[in-house]
Amino acid sequence: MKRLEDYVRSIPDFPEPGIIFRDVTTILQDADGLELAINQLRDSLQDLDFDVVVGPESRGFIFGVPIAYLLHKGFVPVRKKGKLPCETVSMEYDLEYGSAVIEMHKDSIKPGQKVVIIDDLIATGGTTEAIIKLIESLGGEVVKICFVMELAGLNGREKLSGYEVYSAITYEGH
């Protein structure tokens, strides 16, 4: 029986020498790999009391929506600035080279709602930290954060200390 990491393609020296790029698309392309990823994320939420799943575009949508569907929860998208049609709240965060802005609809999280964040990858944790700030600014409570993959060498968990974090696969390097 294959493990989830067996479905991940590793590309050496991309985007620069010394980096091993972990490609999640090979999980998505294989029915068994996709099923295994979704099942592991779903199983990590067993017996957890929560109201809604939040996922950032685009791969957070891919993994978050099936979880929301399977557990009969709503799904709230987090998008890049300017992509949502109604009134939004926004948060700027740092990238490796520059910054970015993400947004959520202002009415997407109700005060007191318990929220699970789902995404494909945690690297430095900046995007997820910004998502947490958005959720909390709307009165939501982040009760768990789930990732398919974690690049532990980039120390993203440090930005998420105080929150329960689950990663289906952990790679020690960058």
pLDDT along the chain (174 residues), means of 10: 94 89 95 98 97 96 98 98 96 85 98 98 94 98 98 93 97 81
What residues are annotated to the active site? 59, 96
Q: What DSSP character marks residue 77?
A: E
152: closest CA among 120, 132, 122, 117? 122
Residue 11 pLDDT:
94
Give DSSP secondary structure letters for 81-118: TT--SS-EEEEEEEETTEEEEEEEETTSS-TT-EEEEE
> Around Cβ 94, how many Cβ atoms within 10 Å?
13
Give residue 1's identity as a one-letter amino acid code.
M
In whole angstroms, give the CA distance from residue 43 to residue 170.
17
Tokens representing residue 11 in the block:
């590309």
Q: What is the pLDDT of residue 18?
A: 85
* DSSP at 45: T
| 173 vs 123: CA distance, rounded Å | 10
Q: Which pLDDT belongs to residue 1? A: 81
Q: What is the structure's pLDDT at 157?
A: 94
Supply the pLDDT for residue 84: 96
Going by C-alpha positions, the residue among 48, 85, 80 that lies closest to residue 67 is 48
CA distances from 83 to 31, 79, 104, 129, 132 (A): 30, 6, 10, 20, 19
Rounded to whole angstroms, the Cα distance separating 167 from 151 reads: 10
